[in-house]
Structure 1
Amino acid sequence: MTAVSTDAPAPLPDAVRALLQVADADTLLRDAESLAAALTDAGWTPEVESGRFGTDDGDLLSSAWAPNVSVFFEGDETEIRMRAQAVASFLSSRPERWSFRTDGDDWSGWTLHDTRWTMGDWMATYPLEWRGGDVVISLYVRPDHQPGKVLAPANLHLAIEREDTPEDGLPRDDDRARRVLRAGSVIDRWYLAGEQELPDDVITALENDPDSRVRAAAESERWYRERTVTGPPPSPDGEGPGRPGPPAHFSAR
């Protein structure tokens, strides 16, 4: 793997660096409690929606079944290339921990203005991938112009998942969902609210949970399920679009 190009000196955001430093199956991707604790310690702020965290300029989605994390950045195409190369440089500078591979082009060492950035079908491009600590880290970039497709801002997607997660994810488990509902912590239930295909009785119980953070997450999930267009959830008073205030930071275990 080639070194990052010298004309891309973008620093790695602190929250991303801290996340990558704890990216293993035992520290970050063990369970809901580990996810929430590691993410908040790394500088990510929990939001209303289940599993969603944020920083000033990035979004993070996470799930506890199976544990995984996805970080997203959108912006200027050159900035996205610089950020992606900064992530690649950080990971590849630690060969004792991370093993690199890709089935596609290794763009980590291209100059920012290399014509190859604008060639080919990036929607079908294979990610750069690193393995270590029983996790797989995948790094994708997308340009802000895709010939023949809808225009969209350039974006970066950094995915972290357990190496033992099945390709199609873990199957629906209603018994587990009810156990989490009965005996799980607030964090467990907050993550549970974001899972797909929950039994109706579990959804109803989450919407009536004694903790306001769980109720807000469950209500937000219902709002999204019942609508086919993207938009902000209704305000707490029902008067037009809005968003409830973010939940309090989860305390460490």
Structure 2
Amino acid sequence: MRPDSLAGALRAGVRAVVYSPRAQNPYGGCFSAARRDALAELLRAEPDVLVIENDHASSVTEAPLHSPIGAGLARWVHVRTVSKFLGTDLRWAAAACDATTLARHDGLLLLTSGWVSHLLQETVLGLMTDADTRALVARARAAYTVRRQTLAGELAERGIASHGASGMNLWVPVRDESAVVNGLRSYGWWVAAGARFRLSAGPGVRISTAGLEPVEAGRDGAGVSPGQWGYAGPQQRVF
């Protein structure tokens, strides 16, 4: 999220702002302290705008949390889920919010489905307070970082730019998304075409690195050439 774009949206009358402060999907972006401060300055001037902060990868991203919420915003909610690191079937979320938003949230639950499984809550609590599970999550966080950074380094060595400052994905700008997706698939690699994710950005592909062992990132003969990715250079395989 860029401050200039946010300022334009606020002038246009938006009523809510939703963002991921780190491990953003698919770009792998995260807020710096400077970006946080710039966004917070704009949001403080709009006390009627609800700010929704989705920190979905909180425990498995190494990037620090730079949250505009702590800078005196009037209406806000910070949401964390556990499906990224405790299991995709654990549909559980925790939310912290200002008093007005909390009252509206609780009132809505009273009028709709306000019951949340005690078994589910107890399972999440047990896992989050278990020493072995916490150690496993810490190892996963370190592994995800190494895997993302290793692939980014291998791509850079072959003259291919990528972006992914946090999280489990790399975004790679390309000339032709279909050519790259189909080319990699013919070698047994699946990546996501960027068309479904982008609004005004150029073509690109998303590579999820969570399950990619570092030794696989540099494997020869299992990818497409830099020319196909949209970069000039020797016809060298990227995987």
TM range (shorter): under 0.3
- TM-score normalised by structure 2 residue count: 0.24
Q: Which has the higher contact order (CA 8 A, sep 6+)?
A: 1
Which structure's residues are more often helix, by fraction? 2
Which structure's residues are more often strand, by fraction? 1
Higher alpha-carbon Rg: 2
- TM-score normalised by structure 1 residue count: 0.23
